[in-house]
Structure 1
Amino acid sequence: MLGVLGDLVEDVVVWVDGPLRHGTDSSARIFRRRGGSAANVAVFAAGRCPARFLGCVGDDPTGDGLVAELTGHGVDVRVQRRGGTGSIVLLIDEAGERTMLPDRGAATLLGTVPDAWLAGLTHLHVPAYSFDGEPVATTAVDALHRVRRAGATTSLDASSTGMLGEFGRERFLALAGELAPTLLFANREESAFLGLLVDGRPGPGRARLAATTVVTKSGAGPTVVDAPGRAPFAVPVPPVGGIRDLTGAGDAFAAGFLTGYLADGDLRAAAVRGHACAAKVLASPGASCGEA
């Protein structure tokens, strides 16, 4: 079973029609969707393999609805309830690019998870957002160590350059080196910021993660897979039309990649599956595959 630990929040997705006009009205369409990088991965993975979400939401109607939605997608949901459910406002420009305004709320309040929540996991995936805030950061590190001791594999997602900049490059590399995940996902900007892949070549940060396979996405450009003991290789991304919203594409890629990798261990085939999964979310609001 694939476990995913991290955020479950409400996304308020704003499709802006044209440039924002400061101090007055700007035409837009607004959608409310399930969000949170970890929750998104769990949902996208659930149709491909058994998936369990571990997190914290508020003891409020919004939290009730988000838990019900995850359960409806076939996710095994394990949540603590405290504080107020978080939300993120996402401003989506006409090219589909996002500007995010997060208030993670209860997502940062996840305390130590019971042994039963980790029982049966063959892999645990944790977005780096879970290292930002307490007690969730301590909880995430503890859970990763516990599943590794039990023989499971692990993965991290670098999440965002904004979060990494606030957390600290050296601090993140030191933590990732300590955790030694099986896989680390990053986009081109995150990978360059961390010094993992710079101008198509392994950078100075790569030695800090010598035992980790680093998967660097590059939008419509090829994904580069850099596995220990072999030369990095690129996997082309098939053309995708009708792109309106990039939200959740990285999470969908991670879900497709992980479910493929856990099935047969083939890294190239896993990247192909990741691309196919990511392509399904690019035309709809937020991390969803439905119609606008």
Structure 2
Amino acid sequence: MLGVLGDLVEDVVVWVDGPLRHGTDTSARVFRRRGGSAANVAAFAAGRCPVRFLGCVGDDPAGDGLVAELAGHGVDVRATRAGRTGSIVVLIDRSGERTMLPDRGAATLLDTVPDAWLDGLTHLHVPAYSFDGEPVGTAAVDALRRVSRAGGTTSLDASSTGMLAAFGRERFLALAAELAPTLLFANREESAFLGLWADGRPGPERARLAGTTVVTKSGAEPTVVDAPGVAPFAVAVPPVREVRDLTGAGDAFAAGFLAAHLADGDLRAAAAQGHACAAKVLASPGASCAEA
């Protein structure tokens, strides 16, 4: 079973029709969606493999709705309830690019992961957002260590350059080296920021994660898979008819990749499944496959 630990929040997705006009109105369409990188991965992976979400959500009606929505996808939701449910305002420009204003709320309040939540997990995936804040940061690191000690595999997602800069580049690299995840997902900017892959070759920090497969996404350009013991290889991204909203595309990619990789370990096929899963969300609001 795949476990995913991290945020479950409400996304307020704003499709802006043009440049923001400071001090007055700007025409837009607004959508409310279930969000949170970890919850998104869990929802997209459900149906492809058994999956469990681990986290904390507010003890409020918004939290009730988010837990029910996620469980409705077939996810085994294990969530403590405390504080208020977090929200993220996601501004989407006409190119589909995102500007995010996060208020993670209760997502940072997970203070312990019971043994029962980890029972049966063969893999645990944690977006780096979960390291940014306490007590969830300590709980996430502890859960990753426990799964590894039990013989399971693990993965991290670099999440965002903004988060990495705030957390500390060196601090994240040291933590990743200590945790030694099986997989690390990053986009081109994150991989370059961390010094893991840039300009078509491994970066200066790559040796610190020598035992980790680094998967670097690059939008419509090929994804590069740099695995221990083999030459890095690229997997082409099939053309997509429409790109309106990039929210959740990276999470969908991780979900498709992980589900396929857990099935047979084929990294090239896993990347192809990641691309196929990500393609399904690019024309809809937020981390959803719904029609706008």
Shorter chain as denominator, the TM-score bin is: over 0.9
**Structure 1 residue aligned with 2:121:** 121
Tell me whether 1:139 sits opposite 2:139 in the alignment.
yes
**Structure 1 residue aligned with 2:38:** 38
Q: Which blocks of at least 5 consecutive residues in structure 1 are unaligned?
A: none
**Structure 1 residue aligned with 2:61:** 61
Give the SS at the match of 1:289: coil
**Structure 2 residue aligned with 1:155:** 155
**Structure 2 residue aligned with 1:260:** 260
Letter aligned with residue 22 of structure 2 = H
**Structure 2 residue aligned with 1:237:** 237
Give the SS at the match of 2:120: coil
**Structure 1 residue aligned with 2:271:** 271
**Structure 2 residue aligned with 1:85:** 85
**Structure 2 residue aligned with 1:211:** 211
Pairwise CA distance, 1:198: 1.2
Identity of aligned residues (%): 87
**Structure 2 residue aligned with 1:176:** 176
CA distance in 1, matches of 2:242, 2:171: 39
Give the SS at the match of 1:151: coil
Pairwise CA distance, 1:242: 1.3
**Structure 1 residue aligned with 2:16:** 16
**Which TM-score applies when normalising by structure 1?**
1.00
CA distance in 1, matches of 2:246, 2:203: 27
CA distance in 2, matches of 1:198, 1:58: 40
**Which TM-score applies when normalising by structure 2?**
1.00
CA distance in 2, matches of 1:198, 1:207: 14
CA distance in 2, matches of 1:259, 1:57: 25
For residues 256-277 of structure 1, the C-alpha deviation after alignment (integer angstroms, 9 at most, x for no partner) is 0000000000000000000000
**Structure 2 residue aligned with 1:130:** 130
CA distance in 2, matches of 1:125, 1:107: 16
Letter aligned with residue 127 of structure 2 = P
CA distance in 2, matches of 1:134, 1:111: 8
CA distance in 1, matches of 2:247, 2:208: 30
CA distance in 1, matches of 2:193, 2:81: 35
Pairwise CA distance, 1:128: 0.1
The CA RMSD over aligned residues, in Å, is 0.3
Q: Which runs of 4+ in 1 moved over 6 A?
A: none
Letter aligned with residue 260 of structure 1 = A
CA distance in 1, matches of 2:227, 2:10: 35
Letter aligned with residue 66 of structure 1 = L
Give the number of aligned pairs: 292
Q: Which blocks of at least 5 consecutive residues in structure 2 are unaligned?
A: none
Tell me whether 1:247 sits opposite 2:247 in the alignment.
yes
